[in-house]
A = this chain, B = another copy of it.
Amino acid sequence: MTTADILITNGIVLTMDSNDSEIANGAVAIKGDQIAAVGPAADLAPWKAARVIDAQGGIIMPGLVNTHTHAAMTCFRGLADDLPLMTWLDEHIFPAESHLDARKVYCGALLACAEMILSGTTCFCDMYLFEDAVAQAAKDAGIRAVVGEVLYDFPSPNYGPIEQGFAYSEMLIAKWQDDPLITIAIEPHSPYLCAPDLLQRAFSLTEAHGIPLVIHLSETPGEVAALKEKYGRTPVQHLADLGLLAPNLLACHCVALTAEDIALLARFDVKVAHNPESNMKLASGIAPIPQLLDRGICVGLGTDGCASNNNLDLFQEMDTTAKLHKVKTLDPTVLDARTVLRMATVQGATALGLGAMTGSLQPGRRADLIIVDIRKPHLTPMYHPASHLVYAAKGSDVTTSIINGRIVMENRHLLTFDLDKAMEDVMRIAAVIRATQ
**Chain A positions near chain B (C-beta within 8 angstroms):** 74-75, 77-85, 88, 111, 114-115, 118-119, 277, 279-286, 306, 309-313, 316, 319-320, 322-324, 326-327, 329-333, 335-337, 375, 377-378, 380-384, 387-388, 391-392, 394-396, 419, 422-423, 426-427, 429-430, 434
Which of B118, B283, B380, B388 is in CB contact (< 8 Å) with A74? B380
User: In the complex, what residues of B have CB within 8 A of residue A326's CB?
Assistant: 280-283
Provide 26 A-B residue pairs closer than 8 Å at the C-beta atoms, listed in order of the A residue.
Answer: A74-B380, A78-B383, A81-B337, A81-B384, A81-B387, A81-B391, A82-B322, A82-B335, A82-B336, A88-B332, A118-B378, A279-B327, A280-B327, A281-B326, A282-B332, A283-B329, A283-B332, A284-B327, A285-B327, A306-B392, A309-B391, A311-B391, A316-B319, A377-B419, A381-B427, A381-B429
Supposing A281-B326, A333-B82 touch, asked if A118 and B316 sit within 8 A by C-beta, the answer is no
A47 CB to closest chain B CB (Å) equals 30
User: In the complex, what residues of B have CB within 8 A of residue A118's CB?
Assistant: 377-378
User: In the complex, what residues of B have CB within 8 A of residue A429's CB?
Assistant: 381
Which of B280, B332, B387, B388 is in CB contact (< 8 Å) with A323? B280
A59 CB to closest chain B CB (Å) equals 13
Shortest Cβ-Cβ A-B pairs, 8 listed: A381-B430, A280-B323, A82-B336, A78-B387, A310-B391, A280-B327, A283-B332, A396-B396
Cα distance, A114 to B379, chains bound together (Å): 12
Complex contact B427–A380 (CB within 8 A): yes
Cα distance, A93 to B383, chains bound together (Å): 13
